[in-house]
Amino acid sequence: PYYVDINQNLFLEAYLHSSDPNLVLFVDTCVASPTPYNFTTVTYDIIRNGCVRDSTYGTYYSPYNHIARFTFSAFQFIRNSPLVYLRCELVVCRAYDYSSRCYQGCITRSKRSASS
């Protein structure tokens, strides 16, 4: 666990351990929850499907494709729940494969039209 104050900036780094230098690491989704067992009911999206949902989220330059660096401000859900659990989903792709998920960026689902 990390102990931080509210609104303190958190800096995170994900590192892909691989001998293949042609792999890219992409942060697809990071979701926060007040419980470590449920990331679907009461959650807060920091980034989802590559789309930034939290205004404090930011990325940092990395000289290596296999390292992803990002930041966001600490928060709490409610006063009675001072703990926040984070679950991130990262994607590994081949470098320079521009059709891969890593190079698509933010993906928004198209809305379905309701027929009568």
Across the chain, mean pLDDT equals 88
- The β-bridge partners of 70 are 12, 59
CATH number of 9-96: 2.60.40.4100
pLDDT tens digit string along 24-50? 999 999 999 888 888 888 889 999 999
Enumerate residues 6+ apart whose C-beta is below 8 A from 10. 2, 4, 71, 72, 73, 74
Entry pTM: 0.83
